C-alpha cells in the first residue's frame, strides 16, 4: 500500500491533483476537520462506493492511519488503482500542516 505524508497530501489537495477521503465518524469531525476533503465514514464506504472514481488519486485519512489503511486495502480490492494512506492521520496533519484543524474549547 502506498503511503503519503501530510505535507505531500496537503500539496496535492491544494493543486487539485488528489481527493482526500476522511473516513472518520461524524463526532470526530467536531474535534478536528480539514476543509475541502470528502467525508464518508468507514462503515459507509461499501454502499457509497459509486461516489468515488476508481481512477482518481485518492488519499485516505482517519485519526491515526489504521482505519484509513483498511479502507485503502478495500478500495484496491474494488479496482481503485491510485490510493494512498495518509501516515499519522488527522494528528499528523495538525502537527505538520495546520494546527488549527484541532478545535479547542
Query: Is 72 assigned a catalytic role?
Result: no
Joined grid coordinates for residue 13: 489537495
The DSSP H or E segment spanning 38 is: strand 38-39
Task: Judge whether 62 and 43 are in contact, CB under 8 Å.
Answer: no
- DSSP 8-state assignment for residue 32: B
Residues 16 and 83: their CA atoms lie apart, in Å, by 15
Q: Which member of 62, 72, 83, 92 is catalytic?
A: 62
Residues 77 and 98: their CA atoms lie apart, in Å, by 32
Q: Give the catalytic positions in this structure.
A: 62
Amino acid at each position: 500500500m502506498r503511503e503519503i505524508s501530510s505535507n505531500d497530501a496537503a500539496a496535492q489537495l491544494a493543486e487539485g491533483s488528489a481527493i482526500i477521503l476522511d473516513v472518520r465518524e461524524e463526532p470526530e469531525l467536531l474535534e478536528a476537520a480539514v476543509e475541502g476533503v470528502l467525508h464518508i465514514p468507514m462503515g459507509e464506504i461499501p454502499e457509497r462506493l459509486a461516489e468515488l472514481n476508481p481512477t482518481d488519486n485518492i488519499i485516505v485519512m482517519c485519526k491515526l492511519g489504521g482505519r484509513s489503511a483498511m479502507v485503502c486495502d478495500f478500495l484496491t480490492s474494488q479496482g481503485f488503482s491510485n490510493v494512498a494512506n495518509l501516515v499519522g492521520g488527522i494528528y499528523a496533519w495538525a502537527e505538520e500542516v495546520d494546527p488549527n484543524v484541532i478545535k479547542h474549547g
